[in-house]
């Protein structure tokens, strides 16, 4: 099966700035890939290369087998920019109809996508009366129209409330079930809510991670945090048994690698009545993201706390 | 082709919604009516139809006003839309950049044509009926003025796209548009006048001046309209130049048409290199 996006060693240099360095990324048909990175990590640059707005200074890239920006590639890709804007004087329906015609979509598609993004009621109002969330949904509607093979979404969920974010990911899941690939960018893993098949992380123009979320979590191997609340007066002996650090006069906190987790747990349960409560926290998605995007700074901090159990 | 029509239709719709069409129609109508009222006073004494006098005055008005309206319409078309982020989606769609530009051009020309037709049309009818004894054939002159004004406007719309595609900020594009207007309709003529005064042997006046006059689309437009109506009868000062012109009659309009084609080609060329 041909890849929808096939980027090989793509580099992009703007005068003195190296925006992308040796990026290789594939997106298969129907696959959802999230591209993460800080502001300026190169996400939008990669999108502009995929759209054919700029040409990479090195490397090769093809979109559904076509050169970026060629007729075939433009027909395959639908784009939603981060700051989506439409002529203020037009109504939502007119905007979608406009893009439907440009993409050669059927007229009845207009109503269907407006329905999908829940803009039917506001469809005949002017765009300048829309809220930011509604404009974002209108942007998604124009991207969905015409059955694209690749949806290119630049930070589509920034500025959406959690409920519409959830609805947004449901929509994305729906189109990818019908074989449309999705490449979306985001600021952090937590915003993704673990909805995409694969996660690629850019740091300063380099791809530092590319794989399913579970695999990245495994790769990062961030320590697991235990917080043990000792029974009255028992904090000293609990601390002596399991080590770690005392965070107040009743609790002990310690970090350990994933592979030690069960050993520590059984040790804690062995303490019996001395332990009143135990709280086990796996690294959050944000911590995993920070690990990759900050070159593992997080881990070195935590590495100082020795697992003495 | 489908894309061209869609983009043109949307430009017309936006022109109607943001009151561009109504506003420019009213400006043209206001100026035209002033000229009609002022022109009707001497019209009785000269053996010329009142409508023809009005057409002569309106064609001089057009030289200044129509290029200005055209440039104001077009300077924002590319730089402004990229600035606001509305053009990126269009450029990412399957429509070629050449089609995007032609679509915008057709839409903007239609907007201008509506404004010119309604402004000059109403003024022409007012002059026709106010003077009672007008000849119907004089109305053809109004039609000719509307058509040639639209062609002149189209030229400056296309030239405005060059300005709009070459810069990144709308403000810069606006400044460039005003500079183009100032040069084409004011400074150019002043420079030609200076050339005429400076050349003592008359070589400039005979061999260079007529060509330079036709070269400027605004001057070519004025020549066409002056030669089309009985220019001498209404006392045009261009009668003398007319006899030595390299092009005459409708052929003078070749200049704005050629400029339009060149400007559209050049702005498409620049737009293809724009990195939104």
Please tell me the distance from the alpha carbon of residue A297 to that of residue B141, in angstroms, as a whole number.
Answer: 80
Give the DSSP per-residue string, B115-180. HHHHHHHHHHHHHHHHTSS--THHHHHHHHHHHHHHHHHHHHHHHHHHHHHH-S-HHHHHHHHHHH
Q: What is the pLDDT of residue B72?
A: 92
Residue numbers in B near A75 (CB within 8 A): 94
> Closest to B84 (Cβ–Cβ): which among A74, A85, A101?
A85
Residue numbers in A near B13 (CB within 8 A): 89-90, 94
Between chains, do B13 and A90 touch, taking CB under 8 Å as contact? yes
The reply to whether B18 touches chain A by the CB within 8 Å rule is yes
Q: What is the pLDDT of residue A296?
A: 52
> Closest to B93 (Cβ–Cβ): which among A81, A89, A103?
A103
Residue numbers in A near B273 (CB within 8 A): none
pTM confidence score: 0.86
The reply to whether B96 touches chain A by the CB within 8 Å rule is yes
Query: B94, B44, B140, B232: which is closest to A149 by C-alpha?
Result: B94
**pLDDT tens per residue across span A43-64:** 999 999 999 999 999 999 999 9
Between chains, do B94 and A104 touch, taking CB under 8 Å as contact? yes
Q: Is B41's pLDDT higher than 70?
A: no
**pLDDT tens per residue across span B199-216:** 777 777 777 888 888 899
The reply to whether A14 touches chain B by the CB within 8 Å rule is no
CA of A83, closest CA in chain B: separation in Å? 7
Between chains, do A54 and B17 touch, taking CB under 8 Å as contact? no
pLDDT along chain A (309 residues), means of 10: 86 89 92 89 92 92 92 92 89 95 92 92 93 89 92 86 84 89 85 79 90 85 87 83 81 86 87 86 82 63 41
Can you tell me the ipTM of this complex? 0.85
Between chains, do B275 and A85 touch, taking CB under 8 Å as contact? no
Copy the structure tokens of residue B276.
Answer: 């939104």
Q: Is B138's pLDDT higher than 80?
A: no
| B8: nearest CA partner in chain A | A98
Residue numbers in A near B98 (CB within 8 A): none
Please tell me the distance from the alpha carbon of residue A254 to that of residue A235, in angstroms, as a whole number.
Answer: 14
Please tell me the distance from the alpha carbon of residue A192 to that of residue A199, in angstroms, as a whole number.
Answer: 10
Between chains, do A53 and B93 touch, taking CB under 8 Å as contact? no
| A70: nearest CA partner in chain B | B94
The radius of gyration of chain B's CA atoms, rounded to the nearest angstrom, is 20
Domain with CATH 3.30.70 in chain A: 221-303
- Quick one: fold of A5-211? Rossmann fold (3.40.50)
Q: Is B116's pLDDT higher than 80?
A: yes
Residue numbers in B near A83 (CB within 8 A): 85
Between chains, do A142 and B95 touch, taking CB under 8 Å as contact? no
Q: What is the pLDDT of residue B131?
A: 67
Q: Give Cα separations from A269 to A142, A227, A242, B11 (angstroms).
A: 57, 13, 11, 73
User: pLDDT exceeding 70 applies to what percent of chain A?
Assistant: 94
Please tell me the distance from the alpha carbon of residue B265 to that of residue B87, in angstroms, as a whole number.
Answer: 19
Domain with CATH 3.40.50.300 in chain A: 5-211
User: By the 8 A CB rule, do A138 and A86 touch?
Assistant: yes
Between chains, do B89 and A90 touch, taking CB under 8 Å as contact? no
> Closest to B92 (Cβ–Cβ): which among A51, A101, A104?
A51
The reply to whether B94 touches chain A by the CB within 8 Å rule is yes
Q: What is the pLDDT of residue B25?
A: 92
Please tell me the distance from the alpha carbon of residue B96 to that of residue B50, in angstroms, as a whole number.
Answer: 49
The reply to whether A91 touches chain B by the CB within 8 Å rule is no
Residue numbers in B near A84 (CB within 8 A): 85, 89
* Chosen from A49, A79, A87, A93 to mutate, greatest number of chain B CBs within 10 A: A87
> Closest to B14 (Cβ–Cβ): which among A71, A79, A87?
A87
Q: Is B155's pLDDT higher than 60?
A: yes
Residues 144-173 of B with CB under 8 A from A: none
3-class state of residue B48 by DSSP: coil
CA of A88, closest CA in chain B: separation in Å? 9
CB neighbour list of residue A116: distance below 8 Å, 6 or more residues apart: A141, A144, A171, A174
Q: Give the CATH architecture of domain A221-303.
A: 2-Layer Sandwich (3.30)
**pLDDT tens per residue across span A76-133:** 999 999 888 899 899 999 999 999 999 999 999 999 999 998 899 999 999 999 988 8
* Burial label, B265 (beta-carbon count in 10 A; 0-12, 13-18, 19+): middle
Identify the weakest region by mean pLDDT among B129-133, B144-148, B167-171, B172-176.
B129-133
> Closest to A81 (Cβ–Cβ): which among B6, B88, B95?
B88
The reply to whether B89 touches chain A by the CB within 8 Å rule is yes
Query: A86, A182, A181: which is closest to A134 by C-alpha?
Result: A86
């Amino acid at each position: 099966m041909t890849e929808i996006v096939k980027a090989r060693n793509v580099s992009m240099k703007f005068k003195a700035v190296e925006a992308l360095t040796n990026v290789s990324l594939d997106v298969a048909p129907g696959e959802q890939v999230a591209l993460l990175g800080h502001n300026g990590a190169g996400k939008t640059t990669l999108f502009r290369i995929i759209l054919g707005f700029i040409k990479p200074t090195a490397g090769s890239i093809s979109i559904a087998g076509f050169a970026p920006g060629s007729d075939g590639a433009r027909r395959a890709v639908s784009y939603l920019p981060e700051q989506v804007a439409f002529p203020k004087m037009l109504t939502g329906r007119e905007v979608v109809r406009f893009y439907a015609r440009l993409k050669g979509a059927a007229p009845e598609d207009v109503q269907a996508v407006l329905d999908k993004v829940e803009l039917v009621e506001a469809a005949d109002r002017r765009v300048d009366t829309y809220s930011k969330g509604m404009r974002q949904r209108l942007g998604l509607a124009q991207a969905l129209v015409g059955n694209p093979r690749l949806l290119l979404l630049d930070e589509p969920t920034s500025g959406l409330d959690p409920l519409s974010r959830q609805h947004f990911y449901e929509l994305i899941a729906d189109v990818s079930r019908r074989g449309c690939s999705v490449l979306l960018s985001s600021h952090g893993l937590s915003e993704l809510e673990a909805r995409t098949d694969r996660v690629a992380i850019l740091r300063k123009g380099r791809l530092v991670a590319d794989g399913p979320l579970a695999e990245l979590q495994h790769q990062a191997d961030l320590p697991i945090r235990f917080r043990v609340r000792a029974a009255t007066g028992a904090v000293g002996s609990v601390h002596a048994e399991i080590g770690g650090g005392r965070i107040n006069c009743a609790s002990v906190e310690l970090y350990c690698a994933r592979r030690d987790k069960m050993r520590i747990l059984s040790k804690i349960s062995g303490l019996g009545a001395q332990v009143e409560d135990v709280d086990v926290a796996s690294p959050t998605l944000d911590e995993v993201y920070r690990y990759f995007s900050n070159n593992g700074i997080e881990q070195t901090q935590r590495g100082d706390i020795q697992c003495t159990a | 082709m489908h894309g061209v029509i869609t983009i043109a239709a949307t430009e017309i719709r936006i022109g109607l919604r943001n009151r561009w069409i109504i506003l420019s129609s009213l400006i043209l109508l206001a100026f035209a009516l002033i000229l009609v009222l002022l022109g009707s006073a001497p019209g009785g004494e000269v053996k010329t139809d009142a409508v023809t006098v009005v057409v002569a005055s309106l064609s001089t008005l057009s030289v200044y006003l129509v290029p200005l309206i055209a440039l104001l319409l077009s300077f924002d078309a590319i730089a402004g839309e990229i600035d606001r982020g509305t053009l990126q989606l269009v450029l990412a769609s399957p429509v070629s950049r050449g089609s995007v530009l032609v679509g915008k051009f057709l839409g903007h020309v239609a907007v201008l044509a509506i404004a010119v037709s309604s402004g000059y049309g109403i003024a022409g009818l007012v002059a026709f009926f106010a003077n009672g004894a007008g000849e119907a054939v004089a109305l053809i002159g109004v039609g000719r003025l509307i058509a040639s004004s639209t062609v002149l406007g189209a030229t400056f719309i296309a030239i405005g796209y060059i300005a709009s595609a070459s810069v990144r900020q709308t403000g810069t594009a606006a400044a460039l548009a005003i500079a183009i207007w100032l040069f084409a309709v004011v400074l150019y003529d002043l420079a030609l006048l200076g050339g005429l005064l400076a050349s003592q042997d008359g070589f400039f006046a005979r061999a260079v001046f007529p060509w330079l006059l036709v070269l400027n689309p605004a001057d070519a437009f004025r020549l066409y309209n002056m030669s089309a109506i009985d220019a001498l009868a209404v006392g045009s000062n261009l009668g003398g130049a007319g006899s030595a012109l390299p092009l005459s009659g409708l052929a003078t309009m070749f200049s704005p048409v050629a400029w339009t084609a060149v400007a559209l080609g050049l702005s498409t060329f620049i737009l293809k290199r724009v990195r939104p």
